[in-house]
Amino acid sequence: MFRNCDRVWINANVATFDTDNSAAYGALSHQAVGVAGDRIQAIAPMTAFDASGIAAEIIDAQGRWLTPGLIDAHTHLVFAGNRAREFELRLQGASYEEISRQGGGILSTVKATRAASVDKLVALAVPRLEALLREGVTSVEIKSGYGLDLVSELNMLRAARALGERYPVRVSTSLLAAHALPPEFADDAEGYIDLVCNEIIPAAVAEGLADAVDVFCETIAFSPAQCERVFQAAQTHGLGIRAHVEQLSDQQGAALAARYGAWSVDHLEWLDEAGIQAMAEAGTVATLLPGAFYFLRETRLPPIDLLRQHRVPMAVATDLNPGSSPLASLRLALNMACTLFRLTPEEALAGVTRNAARALGLGHTLGQIKPGMQADMLLWDIEHPAELAYQFGVNPIKQRIVGGEVGNV
Ligand code: NIG
Ligand code: FE
C-alpha cells in the first residue's frame, strides 16, 4: 500500500473529512498517510504500517493533526484602490446601499481597478493572498467583478491566474462581470448583460480564464431575469455557476441558480425554505460569509437550521473584498461562522474543506483526506481540530502540503 509512496507521514491524527467516515471530523487516530505524486495514496493505522522496504521519505507527525488544506471558496482578492473612507462614512450612519446608490461602493473600486495594469493588480493582491496562505489556505477562488468591461474583467482574471502560477495554491476563477452596472450602461442594464453574455463570457472562455460565472442578484445590482441570461450563457460555454443571492433582500435568486445546477449560492441571509428545497434537489452548496455579515452589521441570520434539516452542504468563506468584508483570514471566518452563525466547529471546518471543494465544483478531487484525492494537507500543532475554529491570531501550522509537496508560503 505504501510501497509506491514518495512521502509518508507517520504517527498522525487525521481529520479526514471523508464523506464515508461518520466519526466527528472523519477523525482517525494514530495513522500513517502516504502520498504518491500529487495524490493521497494510502492511509492506515500505525499498527498496520511497516516501514521496511519503503523508500519514501518518512515524516514523524508526533501525534499532531493532519487536515485537508483549507479552501477559501469565495474571494474578491484582486482589486485596486481603498475603501477606508467609505468605512468612515458608514460609521457616521450611511448604509452600504446608500453609498452604492451614490456611485461609491463597488463603483469606486471599479474606477481604481480599471486604471491598474495586470502586474499592478497582481502586486496589490499579493499581501492579501499571502495572508490567506500563511493560515493554511491551499485553494482559493478569485472573482473578477471590478472591471465591468471586456478588457478590465479579463485583466482581473489574468491577474488571478498569474497568482496561481506564482504561489503554491490552486486558484479557481469566477467571472463576475454581472456584479454592478458600469456607468457607461447606467440606463441600459439589458445592454450590459448583452455585452456580458455575447462578448465577455466568450472571450474569457477562449483564453481559459474562467472556471465559473458569478452574478450579484439584488435590487442594487441585477434582476433574476438578467442573472438567468448569464446562467444560460454559462451553460452554453460549459462554465460552472455561482451566485451572490439573498444578501440584502429576497429575490428568489438561490432557487433560480439551483435550477441551473449552480455549484454554490452565497450570502443567503434572506434565503427562504423554497430556495433551500431547490438547493437540496440540485446539490447546490450554501456558502456562508460571516465576514460580510459582521462588517455590514447585519442582523438577519442565514437560515442555518433549515439548511441543516434539508441537508444542504454549507461552506464558509472570507468574501475578502474592499467593501463588505476586508477580511484576509479564513481562520477568523471559521470562528465567526461559529460565534455569529452558530455552526459547530466541525460544520465550520467541513465548510472550508469538503464542502468548499464542492462549491468550486471540485468535490471529487479535493477537500478530503482519502486515497485518490489531491494531496493538499496541513499539519497542525494542536490537540483537537476544534481549536482551529476556537482560536484566532495564533498560527499553529507546522507544515503546509500542496500536491504532495511540503513547502512554505
Ligand atoms: O460579496 N455582494 C456583492 N459583492 C461583494 C461586495 C463588493 C464590494 O462592496 O466591493 C460581496 O459582499
Ligand atoms: Fe462576494
Q: What is the pLDDT of residues 265-300, one digit of tens each?
A: 999 999 999 999 999 999 999 999 999 999 999 999
**Residue 103 and residue 250: Cα distance in Å, rounded?**
23
Ligand 1 pocket residue status of 322, Cβ below 6 Å? yes
CA angle 212, 215, 221 (to 5 degrees): 165
Ligand 1 pocket residue status of 266, Cβ below 6 Å? no
Provide mean pLDDT across the span 112-117. 98
Radius of gyration of the chain (CA): 21
Predicted confidence at residue 409, as pLDDT, reads 64
pLDDT digits (tens, 9 = 90+) for 191-236: 999 999 999 999 999 999 999 999 999 999 999 999 999 999 999 9
Ligand number, closest to the Cα atom of 146: 1
**Residue 299 and residue 257: Cα distance in Å, rounded?**
25
Asked whether residue 20 carries a pLDDT value surpassing 80, the answer given is yes
**Measured CA distances, 16 to 41, 150, 260, 282, 354 (Å):** 14, 42, 31, 25, 9
For the chain, the average pLDDT equals 97
Predicted confidence at residue 53, as pLDDT, reads 85
Predicted confidence at residue 1, as pLDDT, reads 87
CA of 292 relative to ligand 1 center, distance in Å: 8
Asked whether residue 124 carries a pLDDT value surpassing 90, the answer given is yes
Task: Look up residue 218 and give its amino acid.
Answer: E
Provide mean pLDDT across the span 20-33. 98
Predicted confidence at residue 102, as pLDDT, reads 79
CA of 14 relative to ligand 1 center, distance in Å: 36
Provide mean pLDDT across the span 315-335. 98
CA of 1 relative to ligand 1 center, distance in Å: 47
Ligand number, closest to the Cα atom of 218: 1
Ligand 1 pocket residue status of 368, Cβ below 6 Å? no
pLDDT digits (tens, 9 = 90+) for 133-176: 999 999 999 999 999 999 999 999 999 999 999 999 999 999 99
Ligand 1 pocket residue status of 75, Cβ below 6 Å? no
Given the CA of residue 325, which atom of ligand 1 is nearest to it? Answer: 12
Predicted confidence at residue 100, as pLDDT, reads 81
Can you point out the beta strands (E) in 200-298? 212-215, 240-245, 264-267, 285-288
Ligand number, closest to the Cα atom of 72: 2
CA of 147 relative to ligand 2 center, distance in Å: 15
**DSSP letters for 36-100:** ETTEEEEEEEGGG---TT--SEEEE-TTPEEEEPEEE--------S--HHHHHHHHTT--HHHHH
What confidence tier does 408 reach under pLDDT thresholds 50, 70, 90? confident
Predicted confidence at residue 199, as pLDDT, reads 98
Nearest residue (CA) to ligand 1, atom 7:
323
The pTM score is 0.97
Ligand 1 pocket residue status of 109, Cβ below 6 Å? yes
pLDDT digits (tens, 9 = 90+) for 1-16: 899 999 999 999 999 9
Ligand 1 pocket residue status of 324, Cβ below 6 Å? yes
Given the CA of residue 322, which atom of ligand 1 is nearest to it? Answer: 10
CA of 350 relative to ligand 2 center, distance in Å: 20
CA of 333 relative to ligand 1 center, distance in Å: 16
User: Of 139, 10, 136, which Cα lies nearest the Cα of 73?
Assistant: 139
* Best probe residue, ligand 1, of 72, 76, 111 (max atoms within 8 Å of C-beta): 76
Contacts of 368 (CB under 8 A, 6+ apart): 16, 17, 18, 19, 26, 68, 353, 354, 357
Ligand 1 pocket residue status of 144, Cβ below 6 Å? no
Nearest residue (CA) to ligand 1, atom 1:
319
Percent residues over pLDDT 70 in the chain: 100
Ligand number, closest to the Cα atom of 179: 1
Ligand number, closest to the Cα atom of 73: 2
Ligand number, closest to the Cα atom of 214: 2
What confidence tier does 255 reach under pLDDT thresholds 50, 70, 90? very high
Nearest residue (CA) to ligand 1, atom 5:
324
pLDDT digits (tens, 9 = 90+) for 72-113: 999 999 999 999 999 999 999 999 888 988 778 999 999 999
Contacts of 12 (CB under 8 A, 6+ apart): 30, 31, 32, 33, 61, 63, 64, 65, 66, 379
**Residue 287 and residue 139: Cα distance in Å, rounded?**
15
Sign, CA dihedral 72-6-16-365, equals positive
Strand partners, 406: 401
Ligand 1 pocket residue status of 105, Cβ below 6 Å? yes
Given the CA of residue 218, which atom of ligand 1 is nearest to it? Answer: 2
Asked whether residue 356 carries a pLDDT value surpassing 90, the answer given is yes
Percent residues over pLDDT 90 in the chain: 95
What confidence tier does 376 reach under pLDDT thresholds 50, 70, 90? very high
Predicted confidence at residue 108, as pLDDT, reads 93
**Measured CA distances, 232 to 188, 213, 226, 306 (Å):** 20, 10, 10, 29
Ligand 1 pocket residue status of 96, Cβ below 6 Å? no
Enter the C-alpha cell of residue 375. 494531496
Higher pLDDT among residues 97 and 376, named by residue: 376
